[in-house]
Chain A
Amino acid sequence: MTDTAIPHDHSHGNPNQHAGGPPREPLSESEHPTHHHDHDPAHDNSPDAVRREIRRYLMVFGALAVLTIITVAISQLHLPTHQAILLALAVAIVKGSLVAAFFMHLLSERKLIYAVLVLTVFFFGMMLWGPWHHRNNAAESWPGYDQSSKGAPTTSTAPHGSTGSGH
């Protein structure tokens, strides 16, 4: 672990001594007024680097706009539900990845952040998977279950039939 200044005062043994003012930290701002961004290429503040970044942002915006048009166009085709869901999710995942990778700088982010996100995505998956196993109970377990929901037009196609014992 890299370190810079080490506190020279070894009189830490006396518990009742109180040296006034804020404690000295090896890397406090008062000791390092210059910016040291050497660890983080995404934060290179030179004008050229930033301008390149700006160009990248605008390109990503273009891609996102195009993908939005695509996803709306696909929906107009009124594909069967399964395909429609898969395609819509696929486009959304691409769009989302662009936002995350470039706008949120995930591409150049630290392992620590990645680790937190991977963990989260895993638990997110568990949370989607769990309740889904009760999806057919609505039709089977509730004797008074009304087959036609109030207020919904009856022309829509039902999602793939509830054949019970999938679990």
Chain B
Amino acid sequence: MPPKRQVRVGNQWMRAREAQRALEEAFRVAQAEESAHGPQQSFLRKYVFSVDHKWIGIQYGITALVFLMLGFSMMLLMRYQLAWPGQPFHPWIAKFLGQANAPGGVMLPEFYNQLGAMHGTVMVFLAIVPLAVGAFGNYVVPLQIGAPDMAFPKLNMMSYWVYLPGGLLMLSSFLMPGGAANSGWTSYPPLSIIATDGQTVWILGMVLLITSSLLGSINFIVTIFQLRAKGLSFMRMPFFVWAQLITAFLLLLAFPPLEAAAVLQLMDRVAGTSFFMPSGLVVSGTPLTNAGGGNPLLWQHLFWFLAHPEVYVLILPGMGIISEVIANNTRKPLWGYKSLVGAGVFLGFMSFVVWAHHMFLTGMGTAISAFFQTTTMIISIPSVVILTALILSLWGASIRFTVPMMFALAFLPMFGIGGLTGLPLGLAAADIHLHDTYYVIGHFHYVVAPGTIFAMFAGIYYWFPKATGRQLNEFWGKVHFWGSLIAINGVFAPMFLQGLAGVSRRLYDGGAQYAHAKPILHTNVFMSVSAFILLAFQLPFIINFFYSMFKGRRVVSNVWDATTLEWAATTSPPLGHGNFAVAPVVYRGPYEYSVPGHPTDFFPQNEPEDATPPAPATHGGMLPAGAVAQKES
């Protein structure tokens, strides 16, 4: 029996405070050793233009979280307007927004449209994908495959340094005359062609972002194929790595059509071409003088050819993170690893052949609509397989309710709701009623917000100790979790009701002027209040994040007693020196937990069969003492 109120560090038992001091000392020694290694890189080379995947991952992470907050703020402004249409903002906010956007503190419809378009763009392209792929992918994948870095470190650095200017350029569109892009994140012509200058800046920003994404995806695929450690076959890779591999293929092959389309739209806007402009258009009573003969539907095809795979880019890394967290906190191998991989690959492939389910109402004709309806129904199968495998992984498990696990557990039903509500949208007949209503907004937000973003939170709580050598505060993590879970459902659940009642998207007044919306209008207030509560519960997270970075409890390397390779690397691996003291060799699958006969309940991938297992971390005393004691042999 382990001594009461004591934790084990290495081979010694000591009280928590002593343990902290011991860990601090060990860390100081490691730091000193590193500085003694000769001439250091310049600050610029080491921290600004770093080629180390871990630092680049952190750069992506911080930048993406800032953009996430910005996108969130845009949503809050919109929700204020929707709940209390025509009400002036607080004077400080009014002053910040300026007279052009909110004269007298009251939001103009034009500004609402800008917020709508930019919220979507910022969240999808500047926040979620850079976080899921750029941050988590970059940081974790090389570690999880036992590689010293990405295959092309300099290319990796360039990816980040194209993303950041692209993002800033996007945001700067708010400063253009006429404001930011305002034709929806989907930028449909002809509206987007005749829209204000902000749209041109949007296009240029997109070109940079797409370029960044392309360079990154090449890096990921080559890294995963080429730099896996000895013994790490494809079917021994953690599902997180599979998810990132599939995602990288989606980005590689789906983004270029949008890049081409963006160039065409740019030309329509500035060079007077008519790729998307039909003949005979009259704008505000004046016939346009362009040559005409173009087709607005061409844009829709090319846009959705990317944008549908894009939504799988948004969810797959999240599923990968949830898989890691669930395996680790159930102390069991994942159920159906092979089905997960097969379903993931099939999902990636199918994602390319469903795009026109966003275009059911464009007059494509019944044959083509039937084709895309069929493929869309088929693509729901792999999603269900993945969700089922994850749920079945809980069966018979000894669940550790750590903060990452709580987010992972919540992900399951939330993604379930998001996925199920997609089914009526995929059926052309039902979509006639639901297309372009709040039902759609509810559907995709359920998948991305309590879905992907919760997965991101899970990932942050899970891998924060790996990146910083410290742990996020557990109490405030749980506060963050519960508050967010309840509030986020408050924001999005009523949207289904609004959509079914017929309330359209992108309405500045939230449906106030429509008779059919009257019975459901009150939900706007409920949703907006929930949104502000959601904001409130992010504050403990933000404070926790920054505080713990400097003052959080120090932890040993494998704080979660996990099996995957990233935990075999040094704590908070030093930059620029590779990740592993010795290149790991892999002997088994990624989730060998509770192996019968093994002295500990986890068998790391890189541990030889015969070696004595290292002392388990006992989680450095970070978990409730009772939860751990029984696991000790």
Whether the complex brings A and B within 8 Å at their CB atoms is answered yes
Contacts of B33 in A (CB 8 A): 18
Interface: A131 (CB within 8 A): yes
Which one of B280, B301, B581 has the greatest number of beta carbons of chain A within 10 Å? B581
A23 CB within 8 Å of chain B: yes
A20 within 8 A of B: yes
In the complex, which of the residues B279, B291, B305, B356 contacts A142, with contact meaning CB atoms closer than 8 Å?
B279
Interface residue stretch chosen among A2-10, A36-44, A49-57, A89-97: A2-10
Q: Give the 10 A-B residue pairs with the shortest CB-CB distance, closest first.
A: A144-B280, A167-B365, A15-B557, A146-B279, A131-B301, A142-B278, A134-B297, A13-B614, A23-B578, A19-B581
Known: A3-B230, A144-B278, A145-B278. A22 touches B225 (CB 8 A): no
**Which residues on A sit within 8 Å (CB–CB) of B571?**
15-16
Task: Check: A68 CB closer than 8 A to any chain B CB.
Answer: no
Contact of A146 with B280 in the complex, beta carbons under 8 Å? yes
Chain B residues with Cβ under 8 A from A141's Cβ?
363
- Does the CB pair A144–B281 fall under 8 Å? yes
**B280, B291, B355, B579: which contacts A130 (Cβ < 8 A)?**
B355
Q: Which of B128-136, B499-507, B582-590 contacts A (4 or more CB under 8 A)?
A: B582-590
Q: Assess whether B123 is interfacial by the CB under 8 Å rule.
A: no
Which stretch (A76-84, A101-109, A119-127) binds chain B?
Answer: A119-127
Selected A-B contacts with CB under 8 Å, 21 pairs: A6-B230, A10-B608, A12-B568, A12-B581, A15-B569, A15-B570, A16-B26, A16-B29, A16-B570, A18-B30, A20-B577, A23-B579, A23-B581, A25-B148, A26-B230, A127-B302, A130-B305, A134-B301, A137-B297, A149-B293, A150-B292
Q: Closest B residue to A17 by CB, please name it.
A: B581
CB proximity of B316 to chain A, nearest CB, Å? 17
User: A12 and B584: CB pair below 8 A?
Assistant: yes
CB distance from B612 to the nearest CB of A (A): 8
Which residue of B26, B249, B298, B606 contacts A131 across the interface (Cβ within 8 Å)? B298
Contact A120 B582 (CB under 8 A): no
CB of A35 within 8 Å of the partner chain: no
* CB proximity of B396 to chain A, nearest CB, Å: 30
Q: A123 vs B353: C-alpha distance in the bound complex, in angstroms?
A: 8
Q: How large is the interface on A (under 10, 10 to 19, 20 to 34, 35 or more residues)?
A: 35 or more
Q: Identify which of B148, B225, B295 gathers the most chain A CB atoms within 10 Å of its CB.
A: B295
Nearest B-chain residue to A135, judged by Cβ: B295
| Cα-based distance from A91 to B535 in the complex (angstroms) | 62
A145 touches B280 (CB 8 A): yes
Q: How far is the CA of A63 from the CA of B408 in the complex (A)?
A: 60
Chain B residues numbered 291-346 whose CB sits less than 8 Å from any CB in chain A: 291-293, 295, 297-298, 301-302, 305
Alpha-carbon separation in the docked complex, A141 to B280 (Å): 12
Residue of B nearest to A9 (CB): B582
Chain B residues near A146 (CB-CB < 8 A): 279-280, 292-293
Chain A residues whose CB sits within 8 angstroms of the CB of B278 once the complex forms: 138, 142, 144-145
Listed residue (A19, A127, A134, A151) with the most chain B CB atoms within 10 angstroms of its CB = A134
**Interface residue B574 (Cβ < 8 Å from any Cβ of A):** yes
Q: How large is the interface on B (under 10, 10 to 19, 20 to 34, 35 or more residues)?
A: 35 or more
Q: A6-B230, A130-B356 are in contact. List 20 more A-B contacts (CB 8 A).
A: A11-B581, A12-B568, A15-B557, A15-B570, A16-B29, A18-B577, A22-B148, A123-B352, A131-B297, A131-B298, A131-B302, A133-B365, A133-B368, A134-B295, A142-B280, A144-B279, A144-B280, A146-B280, A149-B279, A165-B365
CB distance from A87 to the nearest CB of B (A): 27
Are A19 and B582 neighbours in the complex by a CB distance under 8 Å? Answer: yes
- Known contacts: A13-B614, A134-B298, A134-B301. The answer to whether A145 contacts B581 by CB under 8 A is no
**B98-135 near A? 1/0 per residue, CB < 8 Å:** 00000000000000000000000000000000000000
In this assembly, does B611 line the interface, its C-beta being within 8 Å of a C-beta of chain A?
yes
Is A6 in contact with B353, judged by CB distance below 8 angstroms? Answer: no
Q: Which residues from chain A contact B301 at a C-beta distance below 8 Å?
A: 130-131, 134
CA distance A127 to B254 in the complex (A): 10
| A134–B362 alpha-carbon span in the complex (Å) | 9
- Contact call A112/B225, Cβ cutoff below 8 A: yes
CB-defined interface of B367-390 with A at 8 Å, one 1/0 digit per residue?
A: 110000000000000000000000
Partner of A24, one of B295, B583, B614: B583
Contacts of A16 in B (CB 8 A): 26, 29-30, 557, 570-571
Q: Does the CB pair A137–B363 fall under 8 Å?
A: yes
Check B583–A25 contact: CB distance below 8 A. yes
A47 at the interface (CB under 8 A from B): no
CA distance A151 to B581 in the complex (A): 69
Q: Does B37 contact A (CB under 8 A)?
A: yes
- A127 is contacted by which of B249, B257, B280, B297 (Cβ under 8 Å)? B257
**Chain A residues within an 8 Å CB radius of B253:** 119-120, 123
Q: For A23, give its contact among B352, B362, B582 (CB under 8 Å).
A: B582
**A33 contacts partner chain B, Cβ-Cβ < 8 Å:** no
